[in-house]
Amino acid sequence: MRLRYSPTSPFARKVRTAAGHLGLPLDLELADTGNESDTLMRQNPLGKLPVLLDGDRAPLFDSPVILAWLDHKAGGGKILPTETDARFEAMRLEALADGIMDATLLVVYEQRFRPESVRFDGWTDRQKLKVSRALAALNADVAALGSAVTTGTIALACALEYADLRLGRGWREGNDALVEWLAAFHAACPSFATTAPPAA
Ligand SMILES: N[C@@H](CCC(=O)N[C@@H](CS)C(=O)NCC(=O)O)C(=O)O
């Protein structure tokens, strides 16, 4: 299997972490989302990474689909529970964590792509509020996260360290339970640390 990725992408990190955890070998190939002639545009017309290439199968995106595929390849029920309640809890957490990453990415893109003269702080503040509201909700009910390595907990760990990278470590203040949870996740899922983005 080959993954079109970038080293800082939190969505690609989900895939790399999951593959490592499941013991599935993954070749990595950089993709350039800013280059219209990159084959990524044919693999995913949305021009987004990660994309997973697995033999003759149509390219797989987006990250929840890829994680479900990896779970299937590993025999099923490994990171995506088969029991209904646990399965939907993992999917729900993954959706929330992906939303944190989406909001963080929008803050980054506002700075990267929009000329300073037409930037609107109200927009980035709105995205940051989504992140802080989601983190506060998770912190308040950290026991519900459990200790299993699932698509949801992998996504959350990636979201938290992507917040570190792009928004700074300020989110940790007042979210002590979540900080402790992240340390425990590191211990439960050693492949997570091996996929850390390069230091800025
Ligand atoms: N929902 C997608 C989000 C993927 C995503 O937004 N990837 C970013 C990189 S971290 C990207 O490719 N951005 C390029 C663009 O939006 O044009 C997933 O879960 O894979």
Domains of the chain: 2-73 (3.40.30.10), 84-192 (1.20.1050.10)
Residue 66 has pLDDT above 90, yes or no: yes
Q: Which atom of ligand 1 is nearest to the CA of 34?
A: 17
Ligand 1 pocket, residues with Cβ under 6 angstroms? 9, 11, 33, 47-50, 61-63, 98, 105
Residue 36 has pLDDT above 90, yes or no: yes
Percent of the chain with pLDDT over 90: 96
Q: How far is the CA of 66 from the centre of ligand 1 (A)?
A: 13
User: pLDDT tens digits for 101-122?
Assistant: 999 999 999 989 999 999 989 9
What is the model's pLDDT at position 146?
87
Q: For residues 51 and 2, is the Cβ–Cβ distance under 8 A?
A: no
The overall pTM is greater than 0.85: yes
Residue 188 has pLDDT above 80, yes or no: yes
Is residue 50 left, alpha or beta, with left meaning phi > 0 and alpha meaning psi from -120 to 50? beta
The Cα 166–Cα 10 span in angstroms is 11
Q: For residues 7 and 197, is the Cβ–Cβ distance under 8 A?
A: yes
Residue 200 has pLDDT above 70, yes or no: no
∠ CA 74-184-100, rounded to 5°: 75
